[in-house]
Chains A and B, each alone.
Chain A
Amino acid sequence: KTQVEQSPQSLVVRQGENCVLQCNYSVTPDNHLRWFKQDTGKGLVSLTVLVDQKDKTSNGRYSATLDKDAKHSTLHITATLLDDTATYICVVGDRGSALGRLHFGAGTQLIVIP
Chain B
Amino acid sequence: EAAVTQSPRNKVAVTGGKVTLSCNQTNNHNNMYWYRQDTGHGLRLIHYSYGAGSTEKGDIPDGYKASRPSQENFSLILELATPSQTSVYFCASGERSKNTEVFFGKGTRLTVV
Chains A and B belong together in one complex: yes
- Across chains A and B, the number of contacting residue pairs, with CB separation under 8 Å, is 61
Q: Are B90 and A105 in contact (CB under 8 A)?
A: no
Greatest chain A CB density within 10 A among B42, B45, B96, B106 is at B42
**Total chain B interface residues with beta-carbon distance under 8 A:** 26
Within 8 Å by CB of A98, from B45, B90, B96, lies: B96
Residue of B nearest to A3 (CB): B42
For residue A89, CB closer than 8 A to chain B, the reply is yes
Residue of A nearest to B107 (CB): A43
A-side contacts of B102, CB under 8 Å: 34, 46, 102
A residues whose Cβ falls under 8 Å from a Cβ of B = 2, 4, 31-32, 34, 36, 41-46, 49, 51, 89, 93, 95-98, 100-107
Interface residues of B in 66-87 (CB under 8 A from A): none
Interface 1/0s, chain B 88-108, versus A by CB < 8 A?
A: 001000001111111111110
Q: Are A42 and B42 in contact (CB under 8 A)?
A: no
Within 8 Å by CB of B97, from A45, A89, A96, lies: A96
Q: Are A51 and B98 in contact (CB under 8 A)?
A: yes
A-side contacts of B45, CB under 8 Å: 101-102
What would 27 A/B residue contacts be, using CB atoms closer than 8 Å?
A2-B42, A32-B99, A34-B102, A41-B107, A43-B4, A43-B90, A43-B106, A43-B107, A44-B104, A46-B101, A46-B102, A46-B103, A49-B101, A51-B98, A89-B42, A89-B43, A96-B99, A96-B100, A97-B96, A98-B50, A100-B100, A102-B100, A102-B102, A104-B44, A105-B42, A106-B40, A106-B42
Given A41-B107, A42-B106, CB of A104 within 8 Å of CB of B42: yes
